[in-house]
Amino acid sequence: MIKVALDARYSSDNQSVASIEDPFRVCREPAAREKWEVIATHQDAAISGASVILHPGIQAWLQDAQGGKFDIVLAEALDRVSRDQADVATLFKHLRFAGVQIVTLAEGEISELHVGLKGTMNALFLKDLAAYTHSGLRGRVEKGKAGGGLCYGYDVVKHTNSEGEPIRGDRKINEAEAVMVRRVFREFTSGRSPRSI
């Protein structure tokens, strides 16, 4: 019987923990149809998909593959394995050396052609995503909203619009924390170094 390891990861803070279970569920169906035995699941939750070589799930895969524990790595799509072209090529090379195939529901059995073309397309997607994200954050800042994250000296203002949807990006000064922020800026403008402050 062919032994299979399932692979899944999600990379956005906006995705829920259920996101890591969905691809496993979707991959189990064709594995059962093919009468493959699922012997392992490897996952990396809430870790960016840009470079994955050092992620714990990927390291576990490679170690298990070299130990002959499975014949196939099954994932939803190649870009769910990694969007980094060099990582995809490295993983493909290591797994092929160990006699393990990468199979995805979207692309089927992964070949050198997939690695080259999809790897390039995924790398371009990441570049475009970074540009869109930067543009979106800039637009928020230009509207007087916070660009994201929590900043010392400010509190998040939670309120909704007329449809009940949350209005994001509003902040107000936290007066207790602002005392320290003002002191730091005052000392810096008077010539003190950040280290001495």
Dump pLDDT digits (tens) for 167-195. 888 899 999 999 999 999 999 999 999 89
Q: State how far the Cα of 173 lies from the Cα of 155, in Å rounded to an integer.
A: 6
Residue 11 pLDDT: 58
Phi, psi of 18 (to 5 degrees): -60, -25
8 neighbors 80 (Cβ within 8 angstroms):
yes
- Work out the mean pLDDT of the chain and round it to a whole number: 85
* H or E segment to which residue 173 belongs: strand 171-173
Pair (100, 37) in one structural domain: yes
115: left (phi over 0), alpha (psi -120 to 50) or beta: alpha
Phi, psi of 24 (to 5 degrees): -65, -45
Based on the domain organization, do 28 and 124 belong to the same domain? yes
Examine the fold and report which residue of 78, 102, 129 is the final residue of a domain before the chain moves on: 129
183: containing domain = 146-197
pLDDT of res. 143:
80
C-alpha atoms less than 13 angstroms from C-alpha of 105 in its C-beta half-sphere: 16
What is residue 54's predicted lDDT score, i.e. its pLDDT?
A: 75
Residues lower than pLDDT 50 in the chain: none
